[in-house]
Structure 1
Amino acid sequence: MTHNDPCNDSIQPGQILHGFRVVKALPVPDINAFFYELTHEASGASHIHISAKDRENTFAVAFKTVPEDSTGVAHILEHTALCGSAKYPVRDPFFSMIKRSLNTFMNAFTSSDWTMYPFATQNRKDFYNLMDVYLDAAFFPSIDELSFKQEGHRLEFAPAQKDSEEKLTFKGVVYNEMKGAMSSPHQILGRALNKALMPETTYANNSGGDPEAIPDLTWEELKAFHGRHYHPSNAYFFTYGDMPLTDHLEIISRKVLTQFDKIDPKTTVAPQTRWEAPKEVVEYYPADDEEGRDNRSQVSLAWLVTDIRNTEEVLAFSLLSQILLGNAAAPLRKALIDANLGSSLCDATGFDSDARDASFGCGLKETRPENADAIEALIFETLTRIADEGIDTELIDSAIHQMEIRRREISNTPYPYGIKLLLGISGCWFHSGEPQRLLLLDEDLDTIKQGVKKGGYFEGLIRERLIENPHRVRFTLAPDSTLAEKQAQQEQEKLEAIAQTLTEEQKAKIRTDAEQLKALQESEEDISSLPTLELEDIPATIDSVTPESRGGGRLFHYPCATNSLLYYTGVLEAGALDSDLIPLVPFFCSSFMKMGTDEKNYEELTRAISAHTGGMGLSPASRRRYDGSRSALPLIAINSKCLSRNRGAMFDLLTETLTRYRFTDLKRLRSLLLEYRAAMESSVVQNGHSLAISLANRNFTDSLALSELWSGVSQIQYIKSITEPLVRGNASDEDLALIGDQMTRIGQAFINTGNLRCALASDSDTLALAESDQEALSLALPKGSSPLTFASVPANCQPVHEGWATNSAVSFVASSFPVVSMGHEDAPALSIIARLLRSLYLHREIREKGGAYGAFAAYSAEEGTFSMGSYRDPHVVRTLSAYDAAARFITSTDYTDEDVKEAILQACSVIDRPETPAAAARKGFFRELVGLSDDTRRTYKEGLLSLNADKVRIAAARYFPPKDHLKSVAVISGAERLSGLKGRLEKDLTVQKI
């Protein structure tokens, strides 16, 4: 075979490279890349390399991890392996390397049957520094007992309160993380559904760890799990980018593979034995006792449908999921929503190919348990009707069109592109399939197209794999207002039982361990053994995009390589908006493309959007200008993309939706309101840290006040208030018509020619052809003047001291205060202070000592605010005390020029993070809108590179400690925990309910 891979042009199948045999070498035309699969003959390790002209190179090592219980052994091992290794015997090499690197991504993942350690970077020296640390951590970790107790679980005696004896408690980072995770209905349903569908397999266990079972895991069991699972015979190496493959192979072979003999890791996951009859399962989640609410359950119907290694059926079910459920016009989704049995599709809806056996599920949330029969019957009636009547070929063509866009689009959100490719092929690869077929789809897609042409292809799949398939579960997840209390009581009883059996020697051991762990966490350590970059490794330049301005500064062209896609971003700046409309703007954006127009009902509009574009939508944003006014810039962004050949159809749809919108379909409006509410409510536990910071910041600037109203707890409360009559079933058509009228008024305020500025990104030929389409769109809009200053949500500059109650077994603790913004000489130092606090202070005090899952500091250069926050935190008082003590740390001499250099590396890795061409264009366009010039950005980076410890301390003294009259505190937690804080803080929190 010959191919034109400039980095690896001599590599052919059958070659032996550093002990690896090349099994496959194939071009992947859709992404302009080359695929290589290799096997290490002596150890059995597998390696996939994807060679591409991308300077953001990726490395990962993954292992199949198949727990046999729910102690969280795989998850705890993921954490503990990163707590020091043979070559790097430091307390936390992972977090230390975040500071000493220009990485664009570093993390570790534990899935239900694998654990992965990936990173990405643009710097060759950095790549091999990180690879060395990752390889040593994975294959030669220390796994000492204190690290296991810190990261996994341990017993400690809590300090005695007045008139009470000291009490035994459970602590540990993973223990607290999973207490938080298992407060989320989404997490509970996903894990319990896996257990219900595949009870004979590893998926019956909670790989993250069940808080009830985590304390049963022993240190010896953890080490034994590592010995069998983290072995080259069970290892999967992945590399991606423009660096030569042979260099990677030489290092992996020399540093790791030559030091092991081949074993049988016994990690093969057998498929679940298929059932002859369906099952019903009911599980519960902890919930508040909301009087009058009996519709807070989820009902799901789920099937095991195919072997993950059957790439044709995996592709077919991906398409079928899009056909049946992918948008508002999809027949199964429409039938479920229109039945008024629930507010929105349940969690874990759709096709899931992550496990050994792929599954398909659908159902409803915010329903009642007694609706389960009706929901199941509705699903079967709808599937039978679709199978009997046949699927509209337009729906099939649309699903294939969406897949073509996904194949062509190169995106680095939410992960770098190389890691996204890895996650896409990992399941098939780890279970001995043919992963290259997931990148080279044409053969399977042609088979599917031929089947469709003959007739009945997807209909047959529906009959065989769904309607006639007895391996299914009807799963109900119901609220239990007593469950959280029961779980807390069970934990306490377990601790009391343990306490009664402890000998004096065991009690002494617990105290000694606590003292030793505290000493370890507080000790200064020498991390000089870890590799690092220097400031001279940082490029002094900034990445910039220069648009071609047209239409008097109202249209910007960004010529770039987008693989035959055209991207459109329009921005509507807010003019005068009546106060009753302001909180409705986010829902207006969410529903705008889902309501229909004067020409098309919502189903017809949804089909047209899916058939001709990669999606169209509106989103609100509250930005702040960088000019002298520093005023708020509220806006609505219009985003759309399409294949170049469909640009005319896309602009026709944009014109129709922006000029002929309507909000008169009250039944549809009701469904969208309930769906939006459900999404808002389910976001609280997942995004508690962000919501807490938004609450703490909201009074400092008008743009932050508006941001909280549009995307924070205030939005959740507002939506709950206006939808409460819908939830309780006593809303009238007049109530809905009023909301519809308000939505129309929002459109009239925003959508006019004077308010619109837009950007197009694509290749030059496509841009030239699209310009006339954009001009036609602008001319079709109502005439209007330039936007007025928007100041309807003024900030009062008053700090808050608040607690916000929700269903959570852990807390999210935020503290914020105003500082200066970008353009001020102290802005670079404040950015470095945030990183120093996170890496040198908050990580140790709140995560290592306190057991929270995460802790961070953040400086907003746009808004001029400084925040500290914690994530899934078992403490509140202790954490707030740590925030107060942060001022003493950052103004002290407890950090060095080397620490500042590492913080500069972190800051510059964010500044220099590569963007795909389309994303770079969009960010450049928004910089134009807010007035952030390249000169300001360059000066900011130069300021970063000029800092040292003394300069940072001088700047810190100007802002730390923050004055009490400026400092805000917001805590999101369970109601009982918040009530228990009364009298324990310098200033009591005002407690409210989310």
Structure 2
Amino acid sequence: MWRRFCRKFATNAVTRPGDKISGFVIDNVRDVPSLDLNVTLLTHESTGAKHLHVQRDDSNNVFAIGFKTLPPDATGVPHILEHTTLCGSEKYAVRDPFFKMLNRSLANFMNAMTASDYTFYPFATTNSIDFSNLMDVYLDATLHPLLRELDFKQEGWRLEHMDNTDMNSPLILKGVVYNEMKGQMSDSSYLFYIRFQESIFPSLNNSGGDPLYIPNLTHKQLVDFHHSHYHPSNAKSFTYGSFPLINHLEKLDSAYSTFSPLTPETSVRSPIPLNSSVEVFKPGPFDPMMDQNAQEKLSISWYAGDPADHYSSFCLRIACSLLLDGHAAPMYQALIDSQLAADFSPNTGFDSTMRTNILSIGVVGASADNVDNIKKTISGTMAEVIDIGFSRSRIDGVLHQLDISRKGSKPDFGMSLLYSITGPWFNDVNPIDIIDWSALVERFKVDLDSNPRLLQDILAKYCAPSAPSFFFRMNPSEKFEEEQAHAEAEQLRSKTHNLSESEKKEIYDMGLKILEHQSQPEDTSVLPTLKVSDIPRKPEISFEHEEETIGGVSNQWNIVPANGLVYARGLVDITNIPTDLIPYLGLYTAAFTSFGTKDQSMADLEDEIKLKTGGISFSARPISSPYEIGTAQLALGMSAYALKEKTDDMFGLLERVTQNTDFRNYEKLWSLITMSVADASNTIAERGHTYARGLATSKLTTAGVLNEKISGASQFAFLKKILDRGQDRLEDVSKKLEEIHKFVMNASTPFKTSITCESNARDDLGKSLQKFISNCGIGTKGNTFSAYSDISDFGAHPDSTKMLLNMPYQVSYGALAVLGAPYTHEDGAALQILSSLLTHKYLHPEIREKGGAYGGGATYAGVGGTFSFYSYRDPNPENTYKVMNKGWKVGSDREWSDIEIEEAKLTVFQGVDAPRSISDEGMIYFMDGISDEMRQKRREQLLDVTKSDVQRVSEKYLKAADLQAASPTDVRSCVFIGPNSDWAKDWNVIELEGLAESAKY
């Protein structure tokens, strides 16, 4: 108590505006009791750099430094600079210190991000030494980068032979950012948004870079941009957590002290003037997953004031939520429920991150014939809302969600604060006012009581039918990809057709030089590092868990400081469900929060859920056996949370939706299917390596095949098949959902529950839970969960495969998976360490640095027991496949040093010891059956892994991945997602729709 008091006193000893501390002067200080934090805004005296510190009793501390980086053109200079600054600095002159610090740290978050008009570099860690180390690396990387031309060519773009060592191979464009943005442009949602932004903000260029313009950027332009933008006078930094402010300021002052003041970039880009309504039309891709006659994307936008007017912006954000979010929202009902469109457009919502607030409402998946009707519907619905307003109960529901979010304990709270302030702060909005939003809530409540038309008035001010608006429409073109490919080919031709022999030789020599640069061994000892000895062998177990039978059902109590909240979970064993029903589980679990009940519309039900709980959700998931590789159970999970005083309401709502959902609500069913399919191509593009891994593991394990059927790419194919059959066949789908429901809501179906709460809530909650179980009747006659099932029980078998899922992308995503060991087997720990070693020491250099993919690595599913190689936004899948095949040989033959083993352990423990939410307390045991004792044993196994362990498991398990080295009985599964090409001529090439056929849907 004394030490803690003294630390707080020392930290806050200088707290008055105008006081000076470590080269900084305090501009403003504010206590925010509603969030249990104190905020201090400071200015560096000699350079003018701004710093914001949030002091809070939170061990997960955050640091970030950022710079205003308005892009001068579409070459992506801010984005490429973000990458290149992390490739070596004056103090840490090794190649790529950022990625090397990933395995010399216990940080639970490290990244760098380029936004539209600023770039920032955040990290989070609970270790004070780690925090200091990373802060040093980040400051030197941003303020004193080497910016070598070779790194620029690797990260940005370069003209190079397809095979670096073969001068006769074709010249192509390469580069990490170049390929990243080619992948980004394959996402039609991103393309819509960026073309919208370019049209409404023509003065704000594409900061990420357009692949057609990236090759125009020179190394000199990159260096000049750094000199003019990455300067303390143009910087804003942020710290959060329990570490003392003075330590941060001393480090910042030391880093800034060598700089002279510079006039910072103060220009703020504004959108085009809207003196009258404006319409813009742009071409876009044709999506093969969507209805051929419903490919239109469009939106209407209004300017809605200045973000610096916090109160008006807050009111608009509330109004926008009421307009758009959920089944009761007027725009949702008018545009989505009515089936005028499949879903909202990517830019829909309220954006206050720029210099001008913009409120946008738009749709995707509309027919050309409906465009005019949609425009009229948006305008008419807005006019109707301005006239009649929103019900007070809906407004109270939104305010209740704000209140309950404030009470929830989130391990990434500091990062969330950072994200909320960064954009507005770089556009001259006071960040303290953004953090202290509780005062806005109180003012809003008072104003609403005195003026019930408050929200109507503010919408009328900006969005009335007479107000000028910006209409944006993206027209689908079946030739879009062809024209894009032609433009890229012409771009390449323009850079190669006039090359002299000496220029060709120079390009060839540069390619060899880059290859040599990428292959050079390095002395990383200049980088700071933690030690494995910094990791406690036995962590503190914060809370005890207790099991009790309530109403014939086993309940797990997790008694924690929950800040007045209660978290309830249930798990239903559905392992023995008929296999033909498994693909319908995604629709079934979504139905509870999408369809409404037989006597209450979904709109009314959702309003009640928002007003009385923090949320209700359902999902289906496999539970892998920790004892036997490849086997699993199948469970349906339900969860809800609420304020302690509203737990009876929470259980009442859970009872209502589980007992009375209307599975014959065909309109809601059709909307749900349409929305899911509408964004399938983009969803897969965003996480292509995850979907590739899911397909690959579906050939190996029970959990893999279940996950793929429920939520993988095969699920999209299944839903598309339903969509193609038309609405006339929806009765068949509803019958399947009712079959599932009959199986699930059964007294003989095994069921267990978990309650996370404070000790003073336990008795009352026990009574509420008993009433819920009695009324629902689930699991009261059978509480022994099924045995773990083999993959053959679900109509599949382990099978080696090489599959290419043909998708209209410019780059590929890949995964190669093999079987590992069960969670309780000691080899699992060695495989987990091996995945880190191969990622950082082999796959990242080969797939990203040399191959030009945005990402590449290996991951080991500790519970599922599968080892997977992967690549992300990959321009060269053929080479990546070869690299993956050699992984086992690298793992078994390389003489791993003690330092490399130590670094791999640090990387693994970033996840093992990452802060977790109070709501997740006890869930590893409840959901996966992994006890604290099993986790402790695994922890010790991880800490004790040796070089020989790594080499042994690499040969024992990963050799199966190499077709030439594997034995005939070994099973491997490789899947790439992306464009078909000659390299895959001996692969099983399949279209997305074909997955439904191969899965026998």
TM-score (norm 2): 0.94
Q: Is contact 2:630-2:865 (8 Å) kept?
A: no
> What residue is the counterpart of 1:760 in the other structure?
755
Q: Which deviations, in whole Å up to 9, do the C-alpha atoms of 1:776-833 show, x marking residues without a partner?
A: 1111113553454566524401121111011210001111111212211211111111
What letter matches 1:196 in structure 2?
S
> What residue is the counterpart of 1:104 in the other structure?
108
Is 1:716 the equivalent of 2:716?
yes
- Residue 670 of structure 1 and its aligned partner are, at CA, apart by 1.6
Q: Which moved more, 1:280-289 or 1:370-379?
A: 280-289
Is 1:195 the equivalent of 2:198?
yes
Distance in 2 of aligned mates of 1:4 and 1:434: 28
Q: How does 1:368-447 map to 2 (within 5 A)?
A: 368-412=367-411, 416-447=412-443
> What residue is the counterpart of 2:505 in the other structure?
508
Q: Is contact 1:800-1:970 (8 Å) kept?
A: yes
> What residue is the counterpart of 2:939 in the other structure?
941
- Residue 630 of structure 1 and its aligned partner are, at CA, apart by 6.8
> What residue is the counterpart of 1:550 in the other structure?
548
Q: Which deviations, in whole Å up to 9, do the C-alpha atoms of 1:567-624 show, x marking residues without a partner?
A: 1211122153223311000111122222111331212111111111111111111121
> What residue is the counterpart of 2:999 in the other structure?
none
Is 1:176 the equivalent of 2:197?
no
Q: Which moved more, 1:74-83 or 1:656-665?
A: 656-665
> What residue is the counterpart of 2:445 in the other structure?
449
> What residue is the counterpart of 2:624 in the other structure?
624
What letter matches 1:220 in structure 2?
K
Distance in 2 of aligned mates of 1:782 and 1:314: 47
Q: How does 1:3-42 map to 2 (within 5 A)?
A: 5-6=8-9, 8-13=11-16, 14-42=18-46
Cα pair distance change 1:802/1:118, threshold 3 Å: same
What letter matches 1:359 in structure 2?
I
Q: Is contact 2:279-2:470 (8 Å) kept?
A: yes
Q: Classify the secondary structure of the residue corresponding to 2:620.
A: strand
Q: Which moved more, 1:769-778 or 1:886-895?
A: 886-895
What letter matches 1:546 in structure 2?
E
**Aligned counterpart in structure 2 of residue 927 of structure 1, from 925, 928, 950:** 925
Q: Is contact 2:591-2:661 (8 Å) kept?
A: no
Distance in 2 of aligned mates of 1:619 and 1:718: 18
What letter matches 1:904 in structure 2?
K
> What residue is the counterpart of 2:692 in the other structure?
692
**Aligned counterpart in structure 1 of residue 490 of structure 2, from 478, 493, 498:** 493
Q: Is contact 1:543-1:912 (8 Å) kept?
A: no
Is 1:806 the equivalent of 2:807?
yes
Cα pair distance change 1:292/1:430, threshold 3 Å: closer
Q: Classify the secondary structure of the residue corresponding to 2:52.
A: strand
Distance in 2 of aligned mates of 1:80 and 1:837: 23
Distance in 1 of aligned mates of 2:892 and 2:290: 50
- Residue 971 of structure 1 and its aligned partner are, at CA, apart by 3.6
Is 1:167 the equivalent of 2:170?
yes
Is 1:354 the equivalent of 2:353?
yes
What letter matches 2:765 in structure 1?
A
Q: Classify the secondary structure of the residue corresponding to 1:306.
A: coil
Cα pair distance change 1:608/1:4, threshold 3 Å: farther
Is 1:84 the equivalent of 2:88?
yes
Distance in 2 of aligned mates of 1:799 and 1:689: 19
Q: Which moved more, 1:373-382 or 1:954-963?
A: 954-963
What letter matches 1:606 in structure 2?
E
Q: Please provide the CA RMSD for this pair.
A: 2.2
- Residue 667 of structure 1 and its aligned partner are, at CA, apart by 1.8
> What residue is the counterpart of 1:737 in the other structure?
731
Q: Classify the secondary structure of the residue corresponding to 1:551.
A: strand
Cα pair distance change 1:373/1:603, threshold 3 Å: same
> What residue is the counterpart of 2:954 in the other structure?
956
Distance in 1 of aligned mates of 2:911 and 2:590: 30
> What residue is the counterpart of 2:858 in the other structure?
857
What letter matches 2:177 in structure 1?
V
Distance in 2 of aligned mates of 1:619 and 1:862: 19
Q: Is contact 1:702-1:794 (8 Å) kept?
A: no
Gaps of 5+ in 2: 961-965, 994-1001
Q: Which deviations, in whole Å up to 9, do the C-alpha atoms of 1:511-558 show, x marking residues without a partner?
A: 121111000111101111001111211111245442122226711221
Cα pair distance change 1:674/1:982, threshold 3 Å: closer
Distance in 1 of aligned mates of 2:111 and 2:643: 34
Q: How does 1:276-291 map to 2 (within 5 A)?
A: 276-287=275-286
- Residue 143 of structure 1 and its aligned partner are, at CA, apart by 0.3
Q: Which deviations, in whole Å up to 9, do the C-alpha atoms of 1:280-304 show, x marking residues without a partner?
A: 2222333356797121222222222
Distance in 1 of aligned mates of 2:443 and 2:61: 34
> What residue is the counterpart of 2:963 in the other structure?
none
> What residue is the counterpart of 1:61 in the other structure?
65
Q: Which deviations, in whole Å up to 9, do the C-alpha atoms of 1:827-856 show, x marking residues without a partner?
A: 111111100100000000000000000001
Q: How does 1:324-339 map to 2 (within 5 A)?
A: 324-339=323-338
- Residue 160 of structure 1 and its aligned partner are, at CA, apart by 11
Q: Percent identity, aligned pairs only?
A: 31
Q: Is contact 2:350-2:358 (8 Å) kept?
A: yes
Q: Is contact 2:104-2:529 (8 Å) kept?
A: yes
Distance in 2 of aligned mates of 1:560 and 1:28: 24
> What residue is the counterpart of 2:533 in the other structure?
536
Distance in 2 of aligned mates of 1:440 and 1:917: 24
- Residue 933 of structure 1 and its aligned partner are, at CA, apart by 1.9
Distance in 1 of aligned mates of 2:984 and 2:778: 57
Distance in 1 of aligned mates of 2:127 and 2:290: 57
Is 1:991 the equivalent of 2:990?
yes
Q: Is contact 1:895-1:949 (8 Å) kept?
A: yes
Q: Is contact 2:164-2:515 (8 Å) kept?
A: no
Q: Which moved more, 1:827-836 or 1:546-555?
A: 546-555
Distance in 2 of aligned mates of 1:740 and 1:531: 59
> What residue is the counterpart of 2:819 in the other structure?
818
What letter matches 2:803 in structure 1?
E
Q: Is contact 1:150-1:517 (8 Å) kept?
A: yes
Q: Is contact 1:160-1:167 (8 Å) kept?
A: no
> What residue is the counterpart of 2:210 in the other structure?
210
Distance in 2 of aligned mates of 1:3 and 1:332: 54
Q: Is contact 2:625-2:864 (8 Å) kept?
A: no
Is 1:771 the equivalent of 2:769?
no
What letter matches 2:37 in structure 1?
A
> What residue is the counterpart of 2:996 in the other structure?
none
Is 1:146 the equivalent of 2:147?
no
Distance in 2 of aligned mates of 1:929 and 1:217: 51
- Residue 314 of structure 1 and its aligned partner are, at CA, apart by 1.9
What letter matches 2:771 in structure 1?
A
Q: Which moved more, 1:346-355 or 1:320-329?
A: 346-355
What letter matches 2:810 in structure 1?
A
Q: Classify the secondary structure of the residue corresponding to 1:438.
A: helix
What letter matches 1:346 in structure 2?
S
Distance in 1 of aligned mates of 2:852 and 2:629: 43
Distance in 2 of aligned mates of 1:166 and 1:783: 66
Distance in 2 of aligned mates of 1:907 and 1:378: 52
Q: Is contact 1:821-1:862 (8 Å) kept?
A: yes
- Residue 306 of structure 1 and its aligned partner are, at CA, apart by 2.2
Q: Is contact 1:852-1:874 (8 Å) kept?
A: yes
What letter matches 1:425 in structure 2?
I
Cα pair distance change 1:3/1:276, threshold 3 Å: farther
> What residue is the counterpart of 1:568 in the other structure?
568
Aligned length in residues: 971
> What residue is the counterpart of 1:51 in the other structure?
55
Distance in 2 of aligned mates of 1:836 and 1:814: 17
Q: Which deviations, in whole Å up to 9, do the C-alpha atoms of 1:873-899 show, x marking residues without a partner?
A: 001110011112222211123531110
Q: Which moved more, 1:173-182 or 1:290-299?
A: 290-299
Distance in 2 of aligned mates of 1:208 and 1:107: 16
> What residue is the counterpart of 2:998 in the other structure?
none
Q: Classify the secondary structure of the residue corresponding to 1:760.
A: strand
Distance in 1 of aligned mates of 2:264 and 2:685: 37
- Residue 349 of structure 1 and its aligned partner are, at CA, apart by 1.7
